[in-house]
Amino acid sequence: MSDETASRPGTRRGPYAKSTRRQAEIVASATSVFSERGYRGGSLREIAKQLDASLTSVVHHFPSKSALLVAVLENADSAHADAFQEDSRHQGVAYAVLRYVRRNIDRPEMLRLLALMAAESSASDHPAHEWFRHRYELTIGILANAVRRDQEEGRVANTRDPRGIAESLVALWDGLQLQWLIDPQRDLVAAMTAALKDLLGPKAIPGP
């Protein structure tokens, strides 16, 4: 919102530079708080305290707690999503998915937050509803394209429509992730690998 002017260098960037920096700090603090205490558990007051700022200062930059949450999600997920898209384009679906899994296994709190918010945001009046809807739409689209490419190259044996397969893949990932979050004893990578083999065929799985 305040980036339009900042994106035009040379005009004025003084007053906004501090603001965007402050916003980034708030997002970082919110990420750590939400990751530890969850969304419900984490309070704006605690986020502010971490920055030696006041509550209203936080509210000034993000009009509501949910707006801040969306910023956190966006920021946390964008890097991983980009890498995923890159992988899927060059190395095939299974490779991309498994790398995505491996990358995410180190930040269970973040996954917990994403899973929690996805469920919570399923209510159509939730502030993050549209964000998640769009996110799923995007992810499934990207995956569907990658699946189609793999089908054409003979890497994926399953001949079902790519979009349906993509939906199943996302579902599998969400579901296995949930089981793993509830019981960390489970081997998430192994489970995902086996499921991928069932869904895509053995040739789709990359070597160890």
Partner DNA sequence: GTCTATACCCGGATAGAC
Partner DNA sequence: GTCTATCCGGGTATAGAC
Q: Which residues bind its own copies (CB under 8 A)?
A: 38, 40, 112, 115-116, 118-123, 129, 132-133, 136-137, 158, 160, 164-165, 167-168, 170-176, 178-179, 181-183, 186, 191, 194-195, 198-199
CA 89/CA 103 separation, integer angstroms: 17
CB 201 within 8 A of CB 156: yes
Binding segment (CB under 7 A) for DNA, from list 40-48, 86-94, 106-114, 179-187 = 40-48
Residue number with CB closer to DNA (68 or 199): 68
User: Contact, 12 vs 5, CB < 8 A?
Assistant: yes
- Convert 99-138 to b/e letters by CB count within 10 Å (16 or more is b): bbbeebeeeeebbbbbeebbebbeeeeebbeebbeebeee
Indicate which single residue of 27, 44, 71, 196 sits in contact with DNA (rule: CB under 7 A): 44
73 vs 165, beta carbon nearer DNA: 73
Binds DNA (CB under 7 A): choice among 7, 11, 56, 159: 56
> Is residue 53 part of the contact set for DNA (CB under 7 A)?
yes
Among 3, 8, 15, 119, binds DNA (CB under 7 A): 15
Q: Candidates 8, 36, 43, 152: give the one binding DNA (CB under 7 A).
A: 43
Long-range contacts of 17-23 (CB under 8 A, 24+ apart): 19/61, 22/61, 23/61, 23/62, 23/71
Judged by beta carbon distances under 5 to 8 A according to partner kind, the member of DNA, its own copies, none in contact with residue 42 is DNA
- The first and second tokens of residue 204, run together, are 């789709």
